[in-house]
A and B are shown apart, each in its own frame.
Chain A
Amino acid sequence: MDLFEYQGKQYFSRFGIAVSPGDIADTVDEAVAVAERVGYPVVVKAQVKVGGRGKAGGVKLANNVEEVRLHAGNILGLDIKGHVVHRLWVERSSDIEKEYYASFTLDRPNKTHLGMLSAQGGVEIEVVAEENPDAIAFLSIDPVRGLDLATARRWVAEAELDEIAREQAAELLVKLYDCYTKGDCDLAEINPLILTPEGKVHALDAKVTLDENASFRHPEWEEFRATETEDPREKMAKEKGLNYIGLDGTVGIIANGAGLAMSTLDVVNQVGGTAANFLDIGGGANADVMASALEVINSDPKVKVIFVNIFGGITRVDEVAKGVLEALKRVSISSPIVLRLDGTNAVEGRAILAPHLNDTLITEPTMLDAARRAVAFASA
């Protein structure tokens, strides 16, 4: 789960990481109230989960109440790369002496944590990594040992942060690592981490991605979940406990298992079609799950055909077949359905469907055959 900047800053604050004083605002009046409280000049920042806000006019400096009104009014409702701004973060503007970069993430190949620190912040780190990789000090951290202050001190020196910033930065990095690990982040990134002319170091931005597998030990994440703006199809699927990702094509897909679902998308694509979604019904799918899956896909107006690709393992194909029939009784499906059923009890499953097959409920023997049939429907 990606957090908005303001949520990331609130999350940082819990771990003692310094951020600029500020607050959220959903209206122009609220923005003015925040500005009056924290003091001018302020920065008015669009809260969207997409990069390039500044270039799109989503980040503005305001020196007085009129400017706050003007900018807040312009930014609220602004469309930034398909993300409409509904909320602002208004904070006290900081004078910037230097911009740094700091982040922690999982180093998958090495199975350790990876810290990245650079004295060249404020620009995209990918660009720095490409053009000037020596400007990034990488630190591999053993997850069992963690990051201590002594290591952080060596690290800030290696990254050549300004002398005056080093001790504060080292302390902040230990806190950020704490936030990353205790806070169960997939990513905790500050860009820019700034040094002010007064010699203070603090986080000017916050990019945080949380590991949803750790939700069970973070009841406080509930508030973040409440603000997730989702594709309505994805929202409906999530409510029904389905693993669904909306895409732009015309072939609705239902498969069991993430790998098989991904593979189904690929095969549809190979035979000239486009998938409308990724949907994994998981193991042990029954009539209820199948009905919900068909319902979610049926609600997508772009879908012209539904391709059900099941390989029974734990999931028994006869149960899936019963589920499809049950679902058809409950939900009125507007698209033809092509099924490929294999694996545990496939013979029984096909036999259950046999008397019900017609022009719009079809089985095919292989995944490839079924994909071709589905794509033919979609292009008709």
Chain B
Amino acid sequence: MSIFVDENTKVIVQGLTGGQGKFHGLRNRDYGTKIVGGVTPGKGGTDVDGIPVFNTVKEAVAATGASASFVSVPPKFAAGAIIEAAEGGITFIVCITEGIPAHDEAIVFNRLVEEFPGVRLLGPNCPGIISPGKCNIGITSGDIALAGGPVGIVSRSGTLTYQALHELSQQGIGQTTCVGIGGDPVPGTNFIDCLAAFQADPETKAVMMIGEIGGSEEERAAEWIKHNMTKPVVSYIAGVTAPAGRKMGHAGAIISGSKGTAQAKMDALREAGVHVCLNPTEAGQKMVEIVKAL
């Protein structure tokens, strides 16, 4: 099985008529994802390569029965687009937009929690989610993933997600679902959400978790793993050598004082029984060992 999405998930793309939205939306459709519509205000009634475009999410949902949305709009409009998706009846929102102000993200997160408790937001600033052979929403290249499981992947970083998929696929190890939660300070979906879903998914036998410096999500995940996770977890944390006080590319990847260091995260994970590896290749090899021994 997969988590959050499957082969029946119907997806609309908010921003389908934009450059990025069109490129990735069509790529996702080519992969086999059920991309059933697009939303761009003022462009309702047109189509993008046969995909109907609607003025509002509400109209798109009414016409297509979509339950998921892929949000690919500029930072200025992203918060509004996410809320519109929730108001329009979408229950799973993937937002890849990078550069959304932190205050907008905080408001969106809390509005979703308070007004739309059944809605899950993935991202923003994330590569999306892929369940190999079933559904791909976002910017991950489908050909580096391998269907059939048994590994679930959850990652804060885009390129390291690809690296992890590559390390496993190359060795013939498939994935159930690969979730990129994104590197922003207020992610809609966190490590624990994904770990819990993988723990509950019978086809996922082991989990690869890729973290990075900044915040304390990895430490919280470690605490959760310690008490709830029975499946093996392999982790890699990027940024061991990152200097304090500098944002390493992602808005959320910053060491403040002594908080958020890779070392603290690795220590917490190790203490929770996680196999902590020092680079992506080592993590891939460790996972191969674990899967072969299953």
Contacts and interface: CB of A to CB of B under 8 A. Distances in A.
B101 A262 contact: no
A126 B107 contact: no
Interface stretch (A18-26, A86-94, A208-216): A208-216
Interface stretch (B60-68, B154-162, B195-203, B225-233): B154-162
A111 B110 contact: yes
Interface string A203-244: 000000001011011000000000000000000000000010
Q: Classify the secondary structure of A's interface with B.
A: mixed
Interface stretch (B2-10, B42-50, B86-94, B236-244): B236-244
A144 B103 contact: no
A257 B278 contact: no
A184 interface: yes
**Interface size bracket, B side:** 35 or more
Contact of B241 (A257, A260, A266, A313): A266
A278 B249 contact: yes
B207 interface: no
Interface of B: 75-76, 99-104, 106-107, 109-111, 113-114, 127, 139-141, 143-144, 155-163, 166, 183, 185-186, 210, 212-213, 215-217, 220, 236, 238-243, 246, 248-253, 257, 262, 278-281
Top 4 A-B pairs ranked by shortest CB distance? Answer: A258-B249, A259-B157, A257-B159, A260-B159
Interface of A: 106, 108-109, 111-113, 126, 142-144, 181, 184, 186, 211, 213-214, 216-217, 243, 245, 247, 255-263, 265-270, 275, 278, 280, 283, 311-314, 342-344, 366-368
18 contacts: A106-B106, A111-B106, A112-B106, A143-B106, A184-B101, A211-B251, A214-B104, A258-B159, A259-B183, A259-B212, A260-B159, A262-B157, A262-B213, A263-B160, A268-B241, A312-B141, A313-B158, A343-B162
Given A109-B216, A256-B159, A261-B248, 18 more contacts: A111-B106, A111-B186, A143-B107, A144-B107, A144-B110, A181-B103, A184-B102, A213-B75, A214-B103, A258-B249, A259-B183, A260-B157, A263-B160, A266-B278, A269-B240, A313-B144, A313-B162, A368-B279
